């Protein structure tokens, strides 16, 4: 009588992927040099002013606002020379790109809606733009997006994309993107009022108090 002898296969491949020695922890103060950071492009001094397409051109329609703030790391240290890209809709609530072509709001020929700025040695930045208007995001469910400004920060070995909301806007509490943020963290994406046309918006790029990401907003 023939008997089948079971064959036991011992797959030890996973063991070859396991470190044989304890991992070496990189000290916190030495981590940034180990992160891949592309070379930053040169940023002109006028790129932080979104209110005009170019020097000498007419000013865009709407209220000019100034946004100032500071970029900080997890330990609240300044992120120096971080590259910030900023974009927002015009005063009528329309973006200057083909993806917003279905909007019924008018374009502003004098508003491009995109700018860049580098933080200084203390992590501070200043920019000028037009306060954006609200716009209909989904007409089928009546979803209006409140005025907001987009920020992309590249520095300290990370990239963070977030949105800044304006205080006391009635549409904030009805915005589905804003409501995704845990209630206790929503204040981190609300600008502080300095005066009628000036706002403060600090951004923390990592750590426990990190500014909520746009992907989770």
Q: Where are the domains of the chain?
A: 44-204
Q: What angle do CA 72, 77, 81 make, to 5 degrees?
A: 65
Q: Tell me, yes or no, if the pTM score tops 0.85.
A: no
62-118 residue pLDDT tens: 999 999 999 999 999 999 999 999 999 999 999 998 778 778 899 999 999 999 999
Query: Are 199 and 68 spatial neighbours (Cβ–Cβ below 8 Å)?
Result: yes
Q: Specify the CATH class of 44-204 in words.
A: mainly beta
Per-residue pLDDT, 71: 96
| 1 pLDDT higher than 80 | no
């Amino acid at each position: 009588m023939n008997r089948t002898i079971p064959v036991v296969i011992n797959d030890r491949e996973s063991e070859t992927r396991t470190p044989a020695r304890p991992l070496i922890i990189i000290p916190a103060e030495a981590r940034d040099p180990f992160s891949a950071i592309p070379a930053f492009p040169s940023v002109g001094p006028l790129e932080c002013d979104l209110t005009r397409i170019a020097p000498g051109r007419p000013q865009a329609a709407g209220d000019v606002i100034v946004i100032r703030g500071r970029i900080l790391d997890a330990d609240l240290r300044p992120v120096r020379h971080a590259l910030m890209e900023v974009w927002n809709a015009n005063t009528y609530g329309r973006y200057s790109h083909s993806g917003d072509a279905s909007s019924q709001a008018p374009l502003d020929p004098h508003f491009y809606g995109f700018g860049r700025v580098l933080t200084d040695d203390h992590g501070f930045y200043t920019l000028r733009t037009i306060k954006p208007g609200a716009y209909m995001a989904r007409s089928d469910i009546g979803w209006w997006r409140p005025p907001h400004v987009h920020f992309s920060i590249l520095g300290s070995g990370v990239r963070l994309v977030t949105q800044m909301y304006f205080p006391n806007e009635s549409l904030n509490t009805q915005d589905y993107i804003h409501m995704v943020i845990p209630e206790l963290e929503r204040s981190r994406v609300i600008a502080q009022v300095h005066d009628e046309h000036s706002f403060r918006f600090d951004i923390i790029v990592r750590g426990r108090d990190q500014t909520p990401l746009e992907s989770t907003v």
